[in-house]
Amino acid sequence: MPPAATKTKPAPTPRRLPAKDFELKEIELHGHRVAYRCAGSGPAIVLVHGITSTSATWERVMPYLATKFTVIAPDLIGHGESAKPRGDYSLGAYASGVRDLMVTLGHESATFVGHSLGGGIAMQLAYQFPERCERLVLVDSGGLGRELSLLLRAATLPLSEVVLPLLASTRVLDAGRSISRLFGRLGLHAGTDMAELARGHASLADPEARAAFVHTLRTIVDPFGQRVDASDRLYLAENIPFMLVWGERDPIIPVEHGLSTHELVPSSRLELFEGAGHFPHLDEPQRFLDVLLDFIESTDPADVDPEEWRKMLKTGRRA
């Protein structure tokens, strides 16, 4: 049996910064436009969204976090208002891009919070740049098991580039009942999951966004499920404060991935959101804030010893 999930007492609702403080900003990195939101002061928290999403997915929690921390939330390359070049959409490239943004903004290290694809990117950040990762928080994360929804697996099939524009057309997206029935067959429920999936698919009407989506997806997913599995490197997570947050009703990436990861990393903390789907930070923003703030306040930032890191890589276990 995996260790029991941690129970957190609700905290008082914190004050929040005005929404105007989180208006999109732009910076040019390596010749490409990168859009991001940044506000607050104090230790840095980097929020990394999922595939077809944007930094706006964090809008219910950013204004509160920014009263205690510097919050950085990028639109990943290929998403939102950031550039969508022909180029490298691997997890490693995304991790390097997020690292470059935070360093450019003056932050050498941060707590990384990644949702879905963003979880895979956050894990890659912690692996590639351990000295920059103070804490790691994965929210319904990819990269921790094979299973994945049929919807995403189907998008990796040949000729998906031809089919996706039809699924993303205004006429189809406006047909609410048809979309509800389609998502229902795929295990999705009305509410946050459906709304966020519909919003993401609407973005695929843009040819550049569609190409970036397909390139990204095919680096990590095939028709049989997720190709990338970080389980063989999870022993490295014993070296940093590590928390998993999962919606028990997630129809995209099953909660079993969170449970098995928690069992593999006994020092990790697991928070299960019983009524939430794939977007617990949207379904239950207050509880998400409670557990995230409690986790940060109850842990010390990691201080990676290069010699210990070398021994861990050499032996495959914590030194």
pLDDT tens digit sequence for 172-197: 444 444 554 455 455 445 578 778 87
> What are the E-state strand segments in 170-236?
221-222, 225-226
Residues 6+ apart with CB under 8 A from 276: 192, 247, 248, 249, 250, 283, 284
278 labelled catalytic: yes
Instruction: Report the pLDDT value the prediction gives residue 262, as an integer from 0 to 100.
Output: 96
Considering the entire predicted model, what is its pTM?
0.86
Residue 14 has a pLDDT of 56
pLDDT at 25: 96
Select the more confidently predicted residue: 207 or 115: 115
As a whole number, mean pLDDT of residues 36-51 equals: 96
**What is the structure's pLDDT at 313?**
82
Angle between helices 207-220 and 117-128 (to 10 degrees): 60
For residue 18, the model assigns a pLDDT of 65
- Domains of the chain, earliest start first: 19-147+227-315 (3.40.50.1820)
What is the structure's pLDDT at 172?
40
* Residue 249 CB neighbours (<10 A): 19
Active-site residue (options: 107, 115, 278, 281): 278
Supply the pLDDT for residue 174.
47
pLDDT band with cut points at 50, 70 and 90 for residue 293: very high
Tens-place pLDDT, residues 146-162 = 998 887 888 887 756 65
Q: What angle do CA 312, 317, 319 make, to 5 degrees?
A: 55
Q: Single out the catalytic residue among 96, 109, 116, 268.
A: 116
Which residue in the list 140, 250, 290, 294 is annotated as catalytic? 250
* Tokens found for residue 31: 């010749």
